[in-house]
Amino acid sequence: MHVVHVISDVARAGGGTSTFVADLAREQARVVGDRITILCGRRGDDDTVPIDPAVRVVDAGRPPRLDAALAGLAARERIDVVHVHGLWEPVIHAVCGAIRALAIPQVTSPHGMLEPGALALKRWKKQAALVLYQRGDLVGADCLHATAAEEAGNLRRLGLRQPIIVVPPGLDLPAEPAAPPAASAPRVALFFSRITPKKNVLGLVGVWAAVRPAGWKLVIAGPDDGGHADAVRAAVERAGIAGDVTVLGPQYGADKDRLFRGAALFVLPSFSENFGIVILEALGHALPVITTTGTPWQELPRAGAGWWVDPDPAALERALREAVARPDAELRAMGERGRVIAREGYGWSGVTARMRAAYAWAMGRGPKPECVLL
């Protein structure tokens, strides 16, 4: 099977979407053995997520002409399915038109861009785009891909009736967690994601200022979205907690791993997430997690691996007070239960097998798998 993944670029700043595409492509090429191409407007190597050598990358230029690059590729070789990642951008709209003209089966992953919280941001601009072109591109896809049942439900509520593939991201399980820090060292609560209003980082700063737990520090790390990191730093200064809170920029590779391995608790207070891949990463690092009902992680409290609360200050404050009052041994036990969730529910072998079965069904070459909702 020749699968072409289409994404506007594979920039590190793209966060979970870029990482998902790179990791899924790697597993499809190396483990499944399919021919995998990523078609993108690639940036410099320092700005992009690592792409496995087994995956071919076709650079559509800057600015990218994904439609022209896809048409050229299809003229030279057979393409079995095109998997489009993301919405809204004109280059994505253009390539959707090219896919329809070429009559190639299409799967589209919105990657949370149609979640209620995401649609509320720049609402009128997105409503206009839906009317003008985006709904037509979505309806034109043979299948949509959601990372959780909640996201699939939101797609249905928007009136999208075609089949939906429900497959979560996979995880490369990290090495065993590091030994706990010395008792004299402060424990670290980590926020790691894009620093953007949707992630409710200002709310987290306010809650931290209200609780201000002794013996703890808060680390906020991730790519800045439109200068929001400066607003977060200003809020930290106004609250008088600069000594307890560190705001970092993006962290990659070994630097990112050090942050996770040095933390005792992970917090993602987002208003809306289609999945929250950083939560899965935190579980893989054996960290208990505080997150919100804006994410599809209701299994955390059921498994004794974290807190799943409303994204309002009172609920987040209660969860934080409870978490920081737990002894180290109890937090580590919660983290180990989370690591079991990551290992048993999100291994890449199962993810790629389900996705491949869904591709085959969309192409008319196999039975409908259980992960496809009609």
Q: What would the pLDDT profile of 260-273 be if each residue is shown by its tens digit? A: 999 999 999 999 89
Q: What is the tally of helices (H) and strands (E) in the chain?
A: 15, 14
Are 271 and 359 in the same domain?
Answer: no
Residue 91 lies in a domain: yes
Query: Is 179 a domain residue?
Result: no
Report the Cα 111 to chain-centroid distance in Å.
7
Q: Identify the residue whose tokens are 């009736």.
A: 161
Per-residue model confidence as pLDDT tens for the chain (374 residues)? 999 999 998 887 767 788 899 999 999 998 878 999 999 987 766 788 889 999 999 989 888 899 999 999 999 999 999 999 999 999 999 999 999 999 999 999 999 999 988 898 889 999 999 999 999 999 999 999 999 999 999 999 999 999 999 999 998 888 776 666 666 679 999 999 999 999 999 999 999 999 999 999 999 999 998 899 999 999 999 999 999 999 999 998 889 999 999 999 999 999 989 898 999 999 999 999 999 999 999 999 999 999 999 999 999 999 999 999 999 999 999 999 999 999 888 988 889 999 999 999 999 999 999 999 99
How many domains does the chain divide into? 2
Query: DSSP 3-state assignment of 86?
Result: coil
Q: For the domain that residue 46 is a member of, what is the CATH number?
A: 3.40.50.2000
Do both 203 and 88 map to the same domain?
no
My answer on whether 51 and 118 are in the same domain is yes
Report whether 118 contacts 151 (CB < 8 A).
no
322, part of any domain = yes
pTM for this entry: 0.84
272 Cβ contact partners less than 8 Å away, ≥ 6 residues apart: 112, 115, 116, 117, 118, 120, 198, 294
* Structural tokens at position 304: 């004794």
For the chain, report the end-to-end CA distance as a whole number of angstroms: 24
The total of other beta-carbon atoms located within 10 Å of residue 353's CB is 17
Which of the 8 DSSP states describes residue 201? H
| 3-state class (DSSP) for residue 192 | strand
Report the distance separating Cα 186 and Cα 265, nearest Å: 12
Tokens of 227: 């200068």
Domain that holds residue 331: 187-345
| Pair 155, 235 in one domain | no
